[in-house]
Amino acid sequence: GYIATLLESLRASQTGGLDVRAVVVDNGSEDDGAAVARAFGDWVSVIRNETNQPLAKAVNQSMRAALEDERTDYVLVLNDDVS
């Protein structure tokens, strides 16, 4: 699925001292995306919403989690619902 492809690409970018971490918000999905994301290890944090929340709320959840980590210098928000 998309989440595995995205996380594989992010993992591959961890070269030259770049420390990439991901926060995945599973926004009420019915697939196995949260489990797939967790399988990538401790550099991926997963927030699981039982129901689909408005996009802004899900983005705020991910931003809050990223910014609580003192190692965070930059944040990139990606949304797989955008085509």
pLDDT at 83: 47
Mean pLDDT over the full length of the chain: 90
Asked whether the predicted pLDDT for residue 17 surpasses 90, the reply is no
In tens, the pLDDT along 26-46 reads 999 999 999 999 999 999 999
* Six token digits for residue 5: 């492809």
b/e string for 18-48 if b means 16 or more Cβ within 10 A?
eebebbbbbbeeeeebbebbbebeeebbbbe
Residue 15: its pLDDT value, please?
76
Decide: pTM greater than 0.75: yes
